[in-house]
Amino acid sequence: MTIGELSSFVFYSALAAGAVNNLSDNISDLQRGLGIVERLFEFMNMKSSILDNDNPIRINSVQKGISFNDVTFFYADKPALNNVSFSIEAGQAVSIVGPSGSGKSTILKLLLRFHDPSEGSITIDGQNIKTIALNDLRSLFGLVPQDHMIFSCSIMENILYGKPGAEYEEVRRAAISAYAMEFIDKLPDKFDTFVGKRGLKLSEGQKQRIIIARAILKNPQVLILDEATSALDYKSENLVQKALSKLMQNRTTIIITHRLSTALKTDKIIVINHGRVEEVGTHDSLMSKDGLYAKLVKI
């Protein structure tokens, strides 16, 4: 072998070794990718047990109200709600209060048809929600959840999630109503500021106001608030409360709350305990009854 042949051999064998090495890396990436795709397809092919009837009723508003009629519900075989009955008139604000694990979130899950009652029925304007088109039913509600759903994207996209395709001016008005514009205006990229996991860290109060702006943009028939227990500083709390009051105006509202100040402002308080409706009334009537609500208030 000449020196020239030897050096070409060494050079090409190094290239070949590198390529083979890359190939094995790529094959293992490919295998991992295929595994993930398989899981994605499995997920996409899952059938929900909650489906539309053959001829579902179409609705786009709540005219009279919502009623739970003797609703009983089991998770697997664990009872969560037992003969729950109450009604909410259109336009009313209602608080649901009760100890942890009493069944408050389950009530909301049944109302949004994430599960169907094991017994009894839930009606909107007298129609069993099982007969209403699922999309129409869920479109009636705007949810302000306890765990702030802020996505890893811009503030604009986070608010637009409430009404995809809304005009810039509409989004700006929603942000103003939610008292969010004052901090958005101070950011270098304003609405285009990237937030979430790898973006700007927002304070709890700021996140809440973005979520309220999202709900204002959606302008839902029924607002569902799952109030967070975490304490905000006085200024943020004040702004969040003001934004929420605006959102609740003239709107059917259901609030899961732990705050007396919120319950006080609502037309009706439903007290849930061990999956049953223990008391229903206004703050004053429940205080004079001196039952569970009065006890929770004292605590």
Ligand X SMILES: Nc1ncnc2c1ncn2[C@@H]1O[C@H](COP(=O)(O)OP(=O)(O)OP(=O)(O)O)[C@@H](O)[C@H]1O
List residues binding ligand X (CB under 6 A).
75, 78, 80, 98, 100-106
Residue carrying structure tokens 């609502």 = 266
Nearest distance from C-beta of residue 98 to ligand X, angstroms: 6
Element holding 294 (H helix, E strand): helix 292-298
- Spacing of C-alpha 95 from chain mean position: 17
Question: For ligand X, which is the closer residue by CB, 105 or 121?
Answer: 105
Count of H-run helices and E-run strands, the chain: 11, 10
- Closest to ligand X by CB, 106 vs 252, is 106
* Least distance between ligand X and beta carbon 124 (Å): 21
**Shortest Cβ distance from residue 293 to ligand X (Å)?**
15
The Cα 115–Cα 184 span in angstroms is 38
* HEC-encoded secondary structure of 87-105: EEECCCEEEEECCCCCCHH
CA dihedral 168, 174, 180, 184 (to 10 degrees): 0
CA dihedral (113, 119, 125, 127) positive or negative? positive
- Our CB check for ligand X shows the closer of 41 and 75 to be 75
204 or 226: CB nearest ligand X? 226
Smallest distance, Å, CB 71 to ligand X? 12
Q: Alpha-carbon distance 293 to 247, whole Å?
A: 26
CB of 100 to ligand X, least distance (A): 3
Q: Shortest approach of ligand X to residue 99 CB, angstroms? A: 7
Specify the residue, 47 or 78, whose C-beta has the smaller distance to ligand X. Answer: 78
Nearer to ligand X, 173 or 276 (CB): 276
